[in-house]
């Protein structure tokens, strides 16, 4: 259950957000045109609108970049479970602001909502796999770690369908695309409240009794079977000082793992971009890059 809840609000929503602005682009640009005219008392031509829209689209990744830099701090201070829940709630706030922007006709609120969503989803997709790996039995960690990528691809597909002009990607209904995401996020948030904290994190906080209950819940084992696993967590994690973001580059061992992990993640993301191209004939990265470079 924790796998579905975690990936439903992390990997799935990231893939979903990557794509929904493409099929519904014409409806959203019309919304921008009307909102801009109401706010500033004048209208932009198509070129100006596309330039502003490119900036609004990229605001999601501004928030995601900031979120990526805070993953370790948030997960260590709040704990894995609470960090995920906090960011799911932040996602709900972001989705709520998006829907509010539709009914108030404010492209500024829409932009703010994208920054918030970018931050929250970035942290969720970072802390989520860590939580899953710490909770999973060693024998299935490889399989479990793949679930985030799978859910990202599912999010791409579902997003491309729900945001189609033939479904919800219209001038009057594009807010429903975000409402669908909000309902899903609310469901997985409630599910996360039902799960215990990561046993590995609890052990770092010297909460052995709670860690024992947690590992028994996630592994489906008895108290006697849990003791060796807890002892192993204590021996491997005891006394270790957390590695800072920039310290990675001064340690060859950590740097190697960092580069390999980034290479794998880049391949997964590029795979997702390729899928989005097949569905909508383009993607927001290239759209924004082209619109900016075309004016240089």
- Residue 281 confidence class, pLDDT cut points 50, 70, 90: very low
Q: Strand runs (DSSP E) across 73-128, as ranges?
A: none
| DSSP reduced 3-state for 237 | helix
Averaged over 254-261, what is the pLDDT?
75
Q: What is the rounded distance in angstroms from the CA atom of residue 266 to the CA atom of residue 63?
A: 19
DSSP 8-class letter at 119: H
Cβ distance 133 to 80 under 8 Å?
no
pLDDT at 6 over 60: no
- Residue 59 confidence class, pLDDT cut points 50, 70, 90: very high
pLDDT tens-digit profile of 97-155?
A: 999 999 999 999 999 999 999 999 999 888 988 888 888 887 777 777 777 778 888 89
Cβ distance 19 to 279 under 8 Å?
yes
pLDDT tens-digit profile of 81-97?
A: 999 999 999 999 999 99
Pick 63 or 288 by higher pLDDT. 63
Q: What is the rounded distance in angstroms from the CA atom of residue 51 to the CA atom of residue 291?
A: 6
Cβ distance 115 to 64 under 8 Å?
no
Write the CA distances from 62 to 53, 66, 228, 230, 269, integer angstroms. 14, 7, 44, 40, 17
pLDDT tens-digit profile of 194-253?
A: 889 989 888 888 888 898 898 888 888 888 888 888 887 776 654 455 566 666 777 777
Supply the mean pLDDT for the chain.
Answer: 82
**151 closest CA partner among 3, 7, 249:** 7
Cβ distance 119 to 233 under 8 Å?
no
Cα-based torsion angle of the residue sequence 282, 287, 290, 294 in order, rounded to the nearest 10 degrees: 120
Helical segments of 194-244, H only:
199-204, 208-219, 223-237
Sign of the dihedral defined by the CA atoms of residues 102, 184, 84, 207, in that order: positive
**193 closest CA partner among 88, 267, 271:** 88
């Amino acid at each position: 259950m924790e796998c579905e809840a975690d990936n439903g609000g992390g990997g799935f929503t990231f893939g979903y957000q990557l794509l929904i602005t493409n099929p519904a682009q014409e409806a959203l640009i019309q919304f921008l045109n009307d909102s801009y005219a109401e706010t500033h008392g004048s209208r932009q031509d198509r070129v100006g609108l596309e330039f502003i829209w490119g900036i609004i689209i990229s605001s999601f990744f501004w928030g995601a970049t900031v979120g990526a830099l805070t993953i370790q701090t948030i997960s260590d201070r709040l704990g894995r479970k609470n960090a995920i829940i906090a960011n799911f709630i932040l996602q709900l706030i972001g989705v709520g602001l998006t829907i509010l922007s539709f009914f108030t006709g404010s492209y500024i609120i829409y932009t703010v909502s994208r920054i918030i969503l970018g931050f929250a989803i970035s942290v969720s997709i970072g802390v989520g796999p860590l939580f899953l790996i710490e909770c999973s039995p060693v024998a299935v960690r490889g399989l479990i770690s793949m679930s985030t990528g799978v859910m990202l691809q599912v999010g791409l597909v579902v997003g491309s369908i729900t945001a189609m002009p033939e479904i919800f990607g219209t001038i009057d209904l594009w807010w429903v695309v975000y409402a669908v995401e909000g309902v899903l996020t609310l469901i997985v948030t409630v599910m996360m409240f039902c799960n215990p904290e990561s046993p590995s994190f609890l052990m770092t906080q010297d909460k052995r009794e709670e860690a024992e209950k947690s590992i028994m819940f996630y592994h489906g084992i008895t108290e006697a079977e849990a003791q060796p696993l807890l002892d192993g967590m204590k021996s491997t994690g005891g006394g270790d000082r957390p590695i800072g973001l920039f310290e990675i580059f001064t340690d060859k061992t950590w740097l190697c793992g960092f580069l390999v992990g980034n290479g794998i993640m880049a391949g997964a993301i590029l795979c997702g971009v390729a899928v989005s191209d097949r569905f909508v004939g383009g993607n927001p990265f290239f759209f924004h890059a082209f619109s900016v470079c075309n004016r240089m």
